[in-house]
Amino acid sequence: MTHEFDKEYWERRWRQGGADGSMDGYPPNPYLAREAGELVPGTALDAGCGAGAEAIWLASRGWQVTAADISSEALARAAGRAAASDVSERLHWVEADLGVWHPGTHFDLVTTHYAHPAMPQLEFYDRIAGWVAPGGTLLIVGHLHDHGAPGGGAEHGHGSGHHPPAEASATAAAITARLDETAWKVVTAEEGHRTLTGHGGREALLHDVVVRAIRRH
What is the per-residue pLDDT across 5-24, written as a single tens digit (0 to 9) for each? 877 876 787 787 654 555 55
Please write the tens of the pLDDT for every residue from 135-146: 999 999 999 987
For residue 124, what is the domain's CATH number? 3.40.50.150
Full domain range(s) for residue 158: 7-215
Count the Cβ atoms, other than its own, within 10 Å of residue 177. Answer: 10
Q: Quickly state the pLDDT bin for 49 (edges 50, 70, 90).
A: very high
Cβ neighbours of residue 118 closer than 8 Å, sequence gap 6 or more: 4, 5, 6, 97, 99
b/e sequence 89-126, b meaning 16+ C-beta within 10 Å: ebbebbebebeeeebeeebbbbbbbbbbbbbebeebbe
Give burial (CB, 10 Å; 0-12/13-18/19+) of 178: middle
Count the Cβ atoms, other than its own, within 10 Å of residue 162. Answer: 12
Is the pTM higher than 0.95? The answer reads: no
Domain count, the chain: 1
Task: Write the single-letter amino acid at 29.
Answer: N
Q: Taking CA 154 as the corner, what is the angle to CA 149 and CA 156, rounded to the nearest 5 degrees?
A: 135
d(CA 65, CA 84) in angstroms, rounded, equals 17
* Residue 1 within any structural domain of the chain: no
Task: Write the single-letter amino acid at 104.
Answer: G
Residue 161 has pLDDT above 50, yes or no: no
> 57 or 204: which carries more pLDDT confidence?
57
* Residue 61 within any structural domain of the chain: yes
* Residue 155 within any structural domain of the chain: yes
* Residue 108 within any structural domain of the chain: yes
* Residue 2 within any structural domain of the chain: no
DSSP state of 196: E
* Residue 114 within any structural domain of the chain: yes
